[in-house]
Amino acid sequence: MKAIAIEPGTTNTRLIDSAEPSLSSPYEVKVRMLEVGICGTDREEALGGRADPPEHSRHLIIGHEMFGQVLEVGSEVSKVKEGDFAVFTVRRGCNECVPCQNGRSDMCRTGRYKERGIKELHGFETEYVVDHEDYIVKVPVSIRSVGVLTEPMSVAAKAIDEALTLQAARLPEAKYEDWLKGKKALVAGVGAIGLLAAFALRLRGAEVVGLDIVDEDSRRPQILQQIGGSYIDGRQIKTTDIDEQYGEFDFIFEATGVASLSFELIDVLGRNGIYVMTGIPGGDRPVCFQGADTMKQMVLKNQIILGSVNASTRHFAMAISDLEKSKNKYGNLIDSLITTRVSYNDFMDALSLRSEEDIKTVIEWGEKEPEKSL
């Protein structure tokens, strides 16, 4: 079968022939790939950045944002059946720590987890994959067209879940289900993750303001406005003046990976506010910000700043529910986040394609029924 592989640390990306996997235990599921989304992680890997091949392999099959159809299930599998649409999660636990032993490898304590398509396990940019049913999440037919957005939505879902859990635990008036209702949320970076977070925040009743550095009439701010959000062009206003014009924010969702901006944004967080960072900076340039003022503000205003990465199967289920609700509330607007679909043969286009209007590029592995081998 075909697969897109890199040689970690090099820019050598190519289509390879790889052995088709088959079920090796009654608890495994074989999935035929339909679509796999491309994100910054894949592009960084293809440029020679952070990625580790499996043991005894020089290459790594990339891809972690998958969507496929179940082809075959082992005799003990109960979560899915043949023909179901489904996604596999990305991370596989270390099996040594308590979070990993409890299905929460997203909170792994040892760091010895593996990730499909990123760290020591082959990914999903290929025709067929097999994995344990513990890692599969069924996708309803109603959101088939956006099933490939499940993994990036799960990252937003976890970040929001973490914030709501913490606020509900510490604030006397906060309830997990409706703390965001009427609250002011700032989404920094209106790319795929930021827009998905904006949908999830609007579904929970928040007032959403997006911050980016593109023209207001371009595609991403337009989508934000169509779900009732408003947009700030970061080139037109000093970050620390945002609160003077828009008021302070109860919640900040950071998805830029730009360290200088992200630390400056603490300034616009309000009393008892919570700020979740999800971006991963590419460089290591030192950042200069008003440390004493920031610390004073965080203490005097009871603020939380937290980082959030990856997602558990529960967050994948939340993501699916949010995608369904988005479909119901905003129709096909959520589909417009997928801006480009290319065949796996044109994978280089997908890895390099990047215009201001591009939100999510998806590699197609097959829409047609699989050919029966003779």
Stretch that binds Zn ion, among 32-40, 43-51, 66-74, 158-166 (CB under 5 A): 32-40
Name the minimum Å distance from CB 369 to Zn ion: 28
| 29 lies in the site for Zn ion, by CB under 5 A | no
Rounded Cα–Cα distance for residues 143 and 279 (Å): 27
Point out which span in 60-68, 173-181, 223-231, 302-310 binds Zn ion (CB under 5 A): 60-68
CB 73 within 8 A of CB 29: yes
Choice between 105 and 303, CB closer to Zn ion: 105
Shortest spacing between CB 110 and Zn ion, in angstroms: 5
Minimal distance, residue 154 CB to Zn ion, in Å: 10
Please count the other Cβ atoms lying within 10 Å of the Cβ belonging to residue 182: 10
Max CA separation in the chain (angstroms): 72
Q: Would you say 23 or 94 has its CB closer to Zn ion? A: 94
Of 44 and 233, nearer to Zn ion (C-beta) is 44
- For Zn ion, which is the closer residue by CB, 93 or 191? 93
Question: Residues with Cβ < 8 Å from 207, sequence gap 6 or more?
Answer: 182, 183, 184, 185
Binder among 3, 4, 34, 39 for Zn ion (CB under 5 A): 39
Q: Shortest distance, CB of residue 190 to Zn ion, whole angstroms?
A: 16
Q: How many amino acids of this chain bind Zn ion (CB under 5 A)?
A: 9
In the bound state with Zn ion, the residue whose beta carbon lies nearer, of 87 and 100, is 100
Return the axis-axis angle of helices 313-330 and 150-170, rounded to nearest 10°.
100
CB-nearer residue toward Zn ion: 113 or 128: 113
Question: Candidates 19-27, 110-118, 199-207, 267-275 — which segment interacts with Zn ion by CB under 5 A?
Answer: 110-118
CB of 217 to Zn ion, least distance (A): 28
Question: How would DSSP label each residue in 23-34?
Answer: --STTEEEEEEE
- Provide, rounded to whole angstroms, the least separation between the CB of residue 65 and Zn ion: 5
Task: Name the minimum Å distance from CB 30 to Zn ion.
Answer: 23
Residues 243-272 that bind Zn ion (CB under 5 A): none
Indicate the Cα dihedral angle 213, 229, 278, 294, nearest 10°. 80
**Nearer residue to Zn ion within complex by CB, 258 or 268:** 258
Closer residue to Zn ion (CB): 3 or 266? 3
Residue 186: partners with Cβ closer than 8 Å, 6 or more residues away: 208, 209, 210, 211, 242, 246, 249, 251, 252, 253, 265, 268
> From residue 70 to residue 109, what is the string marking binding to Zn ion with x (rule CB under 5 A)?
-----------------------xx--x--x-------x-
Q: Which residues contact 131 (CB under 8 A, 6 or more apart)?
A: 28, 29, 31, 88, 116
Instruction: Give residues with Cβ within 8 angstroms of 241, minimum separation 6.
Output: none
Rounded Cα distance between 58 and 34, Å, is 26
Considering only 65-73, 184-192, 198-206, 304-312, which stretch makes contact with Zn ion by CB under 5 A? Answer: 65-73
**d(Cα 13, Cα 19) in Å, to the nearest integer?**
18
Q: How far is the CB of 272 from Zn ion (least distance, A)?
A: 32
Q: Give CB contacts under 8 A, 24+ apart, made by 57-60.
A: 57/122, 58/7, 59/5, 59/6, 59/7, 59/16, 60/5, 60/6, 60/7, 60/8, 60/117, 60/122, 60/123
The span from the CA of 35 to the CA of 315, in Å, is 20
Which of 115, 250 has the CB closer to Zn ion? 115
Segment near Zn ion (CB under 5 A); pick from 31-39, 222-230, 252-260, 288-296: 31-39
Q: How far is the CB of 107 from Zn ion (least distance, A)?
A: 8
Chain residues in the site for Zn ion (CB under 5 A): 39, 41, 65, 93-94, 97, 100, 108, 110
